[in-house]
Amino acid sequence: MSRLVPNKWLKTNVLLRHREVAKHIPETRVYTRAVLVRMLNQYGRVVMKPCIGFGGHGLILISKQRLGYMVHHRERIWSRLSFGAMLAHVERLRRGTAYLVQRGLVLASISGRPVDYRVKLLRRHGKWFTKKIIGRLAKPGLFVTNIHSGGTVLGANEALRRSLSISPHAKKQEMNRLSYLGMEALTRAFPGIDKLGFDYGIDRQGNIWLLEVNTQPR
């Protein structure tokens, strides 16, 4: 059985020590109020995610607007919040559990629905291979693309063409290359891993970002 490493911060820390991979990781920190405030002031938009969680559950999008703050969780959106009200929503949704704060990206989209990508690697008989590269399209009105949250699976080629109007080969090749670099770092740190799912976002400028890695991908 493949080793399970559920803690997102442990995996992110390993990848941040790999110079090439780290360039593609949006700033990610363990949540404190001070970290949240600093990153909102710097980026204007952040995503909070549980340190341990699957399927997109518990994700919170927070953005700084001209008239206060907006908090987006599942299908609920609270806008024009004061700073104190925004923090109160965050603490209520967080329920005392450990969270990460990640720079919020504006991903390339299809009809206003964000798209991201999953690269799944497997090890069989000691050799790693790419099982699949897919696109995932968020349900209308949501920012989370996971299938558990109503997202739709697309072929990676279709997703890239429709969201960015580009030839998909180079982007798929780069995501695959980064995944193998990440695999090497993670398997050194956590021996016994036999499968990995690398989740990527591509912003509107075509930049590739590694959002997180799952050790039990579906």
How far is CA 30 from each of CA 26, 89, 140, rounded to the nearest angstrom?
A: 13, 18, 29
Adjacent-strand bridge partners of 62:
46, 71
Closest CA to 25 of 181, 131, 140: 181
Contact 62, 48 (CB under 8 A): yes
Contact 36, 90 (CB under 8 A): yes
Report how far residue 195's alpha carbon sits from residue 216's, in angstroms, rounded to the nearest whole number. 7
**Cβ atoms within 10 Å, residue 92:** 10
The single-letter code of the amino acid at 15 is: L
- What are the extents of the domains in the chain? 8-24+106-214, 28-103
φ, ψ of residue 114 in degrees (nearest 5): -60, 150
Question: What residues contact 205, with CB distance under 8 A and at least 6 apart?
Answer: none
How far out from the chain centre does Cα 76 lie?
20
Contact 195, 212 (CB under 8 A): no
The single-letter code of the amino acid at 64 is: K
Contact 217, 120 (CB under 8 A): yes
pLDDT at residue 111 in the model: 95
Write the burial class of residue 11 (CB in 10 Å: 0-12 exposed, 13-18 middle, 19+ buried): buried
φ, ψ of residue 134 in degrees (nearest 5): -125, 160
pLDDT at residue 82 in the model: 97
How far is CA 164 from each of CA 141, 146, 158, 168, rounded to the nearest angstrom?
A: 20, 20, 10, 9
One digit per residue, pLDDT tens: the chain, 218 residues?
789 999 999 999 999 999 999 999 999 999 999 999 999 999 999 999 999 987 778 999 999 999 999 999 988 999 999 999 999 999 999 999 999 999 999 999 999 999 999 999 999 999 999 999 999 999 988 888 877 777 899 999 999 999 998 889 999 999 999 999 999 999 999 999 999 999 999 999 999 999 999 999 98
How far is CA 73 from each of CA 9, 42, 78, 123, 149, rounded to the nearest angstrom?
A: 21, 22, 9, 35, 11
pLDDT at residue 117 in the model: 97
Provide the whole-model pTM. 0.95
Class of domain 8-24+106-214: alpha beta
pLDDT at residue 147 in the model: 73
